[in-house]
Structure 1
Amino acid sequence: MQGWPRLHNGPARPLLWHVQTGQDWTIGPIEVKALPDPPYATGTTRTKHGTIRTPALMPVVAVSYGVWDLWIDGEYTAPWDLAQATILSLYHVLQYPRAKQVRTRGIHAVLGTSRPVFMDSGGFQYMKKGVELDPMDVLAFQRDSGCDVGITFDFPITLDLDDASRTDRLDRSIKAANLMLEHTGDMALYGAIHGSSPDEIEAYTMRLDKGFSGYGIGSLVPRKAHYDHLVDIMHAARSLTSLPIHAFGITGFPALYALSYLGVDTFDSWTYLVAAAYKEYIDPERLMRVKRLKERSHLPHCDCPVCQEYGLKDFIAPTSEGEALLALHNLHVFLREMSLIREAMDKNELEDYILVKGEHGNRNINRAFRAAERKVKEKKDQYR
């Protein structure tokens, strides 16, 4: 299938890494630099609707029906009322009646929020449906919606693709990204990046034109529990730019801690809602899902605002209200942990904080962190 015509006559411009001295270093092929020591730090991402303190987790939201009606109509506190920013997938907008309102009134008016809103292109969901969108149509909708940050339409890669198909999808993602960048106007645009190895991440990045406001790293979900692989990919991405880096679809606590340690800026979470749909309660101390709630007489203690007013009986109710309340509890746990991560960073105590969390709950937290720690040390030794 033919790709879209590229609007640039010359070769793509290499991405520049803006170092602290103000000097720009062009990244050469297969060259990943060591991260600072320590590799993490709190930071800020500025948008038209406010500043996001990073690292930060953004709940994935929709404008469909069910729990979304309750939140949009203001019957309950909404996810976008709790988080610093939210993110939507275009897939969860276009197929529902509110799509026209989003385009004419703006996404902030539809949600009733004055906080930053990111809009993903929905490439991952459309890939699963076998549907393809025109990148320029995606960009037009994002701009009309008034979102703070749009993300380029992409063609994610999966483990079952042959080499030719992989190459084709990567090429088309790059063409779509550069095409959208040419016409983005004053809307901030993140370039979606894909690759299954550090070398692929670098090669992909080298073909993106300069001018993106940040980058979103995709195709992570199929191997999200393979922590060494995840760390390799995200370390490579983080090392190539000082612009904001977003990790798509990675919201398990082990990965959140490890990637925050590596300096990833933002994450998105659909897990808070999916867990609630399956009537699963996230234990705020062990950071693991409590299942089969109907068989339990009580829940682990939680002092979040939802649990102060509602309880087990409310959460297991087979209604949209029950799902909404349980989702809000789960989101409170995620957001609290991200706040504690930032606090530990400011004290330069993130490593100790992560190790303590791993000892008292999800043991995969320490596995993922050790993988990140090894990678940072390896690169530090290499460039010493």
Structure 2
Amino acid sequence: MHAPGTFTIQATDGPSRLGELHTAHGVVRTPAFMPVGTLGTVKSLCPQDLKDASAQIILGNTYHLYLRPGDDLVARRGGLHAFMGWDRPILTDSGGFQVFSLSGLRKLTPDGVEFRSHLDGSKHFFTPEKVLDIQRNLGSDIMMVLDECVPYGADHAYTEKSLVLTHDWALRSRENHAPGRNGQLVFGIVQGGFFKDLREQSAEAICSMGFDGHAIGGLSVGESTAEMYELMAHTAPLLPADKPRYLMGVGKPMDILEGIGNGIDMFDCVLPTRNARNGTLYTSRGQVNIKRAEFKEDDSPLDPECTCYTCRTFSKAYLRHLYVAKELLSYRLNTIHNVHFFLELARGAREAIAAGQFAAYKARFQAVYPSAPQE
């Protein structure tokens, strides 16, 4: 039995890695996609749906759970695992991205960030220490440190000044949580905007602090796909090879495969669940907009190559009917499928790396998801 935080590489295929991360609630085989369960639920799904789709780990959000229902209440219920009936690993974001996206409702200081709740306008103050205390109450397996996510377009001077704050907060976070305490892991976050020298500076500082893993933050914030891929490729090799690498909030199918091709191990994004509710579905043949009239009398499954409950059981005609009628079952069936697709994307990547066939695997998806880097 390996201690939480143990990370081993089983195989490589170029920069791509096949690994295992041990946590207090089980092993996460990487590359891994983490469905987003912001408020202690992956929207419209129950834990059994996630297990049926072979989800290994899900993500919760510190900011949202702190405001509602409150981390103290969750702690009294035995932690987030017990509260939501999920016995596999959980990663919790620090809430930093949510706080900084509040713009006019927050005020930044060297000590932390003051903000007003988007729910009722009440005032709150997050420090690096408090953010970890909240996550300890939640009982997450992987905790993220508080950082400043600079907006896209921020200039070099602002971004450099922001790094001083992010690095100071990371150091305070490290001092607040000893390695292995309560079996909870802590990941540091590399920032630096879209400046390669600052990404290098940030990676050097964060990776010297002894975190259990490292994340690349500040991407997918409005930049072109070409810019994102360039920064991803530049930053990933700066992170230690013997610890997990996590690309935060980036989640189109080709973005994930591009990340895996650059040696990144963990991914999360709201795209599969949000787009499911908007009727945009991912298939082995490309994206499908299920509301289109062409599916009105289409009795074929959404994706004949998919083994999820939705594709095994229902036709495109029925899925279109549910969506057009605004039936709640539409959200559930669409989300079951999209989450399954993204988890299968990661599982297939693991198999391809093990077989030394990752480039061919990526090329197959590029043919049906011909996204950037052209744009």
* TM-score, with structure 2 as normaliser: 0.79
- Deviation readout 1:308-330 (Å, 9 max, x if unpaired): 23441345542443212211211
C-alpha separation in 1, matches of 2:361 and 2:177: 40
- What is the match of residue 142 of structure 1? 135
C-alpha separation in 2, matches of 1:80 and 1:198: 41
Deviates more, 1:81-90 or 1:242-251: 81-90
Q: CA deviation at 1:159?
A: 2.3
Match of 2:17, SS?
Answer: coil
Match of 1:323, SS?
Answer: helix
Over aligned residue pairs, what C-alpha RMSD do you find? 2.9
C-alpha separation in 2, matches of 1:178 and 1:289: 45
Contact kept? 2:63, 2:95, Cα under 8 Å: yes
Relative distance call for 1:146 and 1:294 in structure 2 (3 A) is: farther
Relative distance call for 1:164 and 1:296 in structure 2 (3 A) is: same
Match of 2:173, SS?
Answer: helix
Which residue, out of 121, 137, 159, partners 2:152? 159
Contact kept? 2:55, 2:343, Cα under 8 Å: yes
Q: What amino acid does structure 1 have at the position aligned with 2:199?
A: I
Deviates more, 1:333-342 or 1:288-297: 288-297
- What is the match of residue 103 of structure 1? 75
Deviates more, 1:87-96 or 1:307-316: 307-316
Q: What count of residue pairs does the alignment treat as equivalent?
A: 330
- What is the match of residue 33 of structure 2? 57
Q: What amino acid does structure 2 have at the position aligned with 1:281?
A: L
Relative distance call for 1:294 and 1:212 in structure 2 (3 A) is: farther
Is the counterpart of residue 358 in structure 1 residue 366 in structure 2? Answer: yes
Q: What amino acid does structure 1 have at the position aligned with 2:98?
A: Q
Contact kept? 2:16, 2:261, Cα under 8 Å: yes
Q: What amino acid does structure 2 have at the position aligned with 1:142?
A: Q
Deviates more, 1:136-145 or 1:298-307: 298-307
Q: What amino acid does structure 1 have at the position aligned with 2:370?
A: R
C-alpha separation in 2, matches of 1:106 and 1:331: 25
Structure 1 gap ranges (5+): 1-17, 21-35, 369-384
- Deviation readout 1:45-79 (Å, 9 max, x if unpaired): 111111111101001112278x74x645x6x7247
- Deviation readout 1:169-221 (Å, 9 max, x if unpaired): 22211111110111113121000111223321210122234210011111101
Match of 1:364, SS?
Answer: coil
Which residue, out of 303, 307, 310, partners 2:311? 307
Match of 1:91, SS?
Answer: helix
C-alpha separation in 1, matches of 2:52 and 2:167: 31
Match of 1:61, SS?
Answer: coil
Contact kept? 1:121, 1:152, Cα under 8 Å: yes
Which residue, out of 38, 48, 70, partners 2:14? 38
Deviates more, 1:237-246 or 1:52-61: 237-246
C-alpha separation in 1, matches of 2:150 and 2:201: 15
Which residue, out of 330, 340, 344, partners 1:336? 344
C-alpha separation in 1, matches of 2:142 and 2:330: 32
| Identical-residue share of aligned pairs (%) | 25
Is the counterpart of residue 296 in structure 1 residue 269 in structure 2? Answer: no
- What is the match of residue 84 of structure 1? 56
Q: CA deviation at 1:301?
A: 2.8
* TM-score, with structure 1 as normaliser: 0.77
Is the counterpart of residue 194 in structure 1 residue 214 in structure 2? Answer: no
Q: What amino acid does structure 1 have at the position aligned with 2:338?
A: N
Contact kept? 2:132, 2:173, Cα under 8 Å: yes
Relative distance call for 1:170 and 1:289 in structure 2 (3 A) is: farther
C-alpha separation in 1, matches of 2:293 and 2:136: 45
C-alpha separation in 2, matches of 1:224 and 1:254: 16
Relative distance call for 1:234 and 1:94 in structure 2 (3 A) is: farther
Contact kept? 2:62, 2:93, Cα under 8 Å: yes
- Deviation readout 1:7-56 (Å, 9 max, x if unpaired): xxxxxxxxxxx9x9xxxxxxxxxxxxxxx871112111111111111101
Contact kept? 1:197, 1:233, Cα under 8 Å: no
Q: CA deviation at 1:117?
A: 0.3
Match of 1:354, SS?
Answer: helix
Contact kept? 2:92, 2:135, Cα under 8 Å: yes
- Which aligned pairs between 1:1-384 and structure 2 lie closer than 5 A? 38-63=14-39, 68=43, 71=45, 77-78=49-50, 82-97=54-69, 99-104=71-76, 105-130=78-103, 131=106, 132=113, 133-185=126-178, 186=181, 187-195=184-192, 196-208=194-206, 209-223=208-222, 225-242=224-241, 243-282=243-282, 284-290=283-289, 292-293=291-292, 296-297=295-296, 298=298, 300-302=302-304, 303=306, 304-310=308-314, 311-312=318-319, 313-359=321-367, 361-364=368-371, 367=373
Q: CA deviation at 1:89?
A: 1.8
Structure 2 gap ranges (5+): 1-6, 107-112, 114-125
Relative distance call for 1:278 and 1:295 in structure 2 (3 A) is: farther
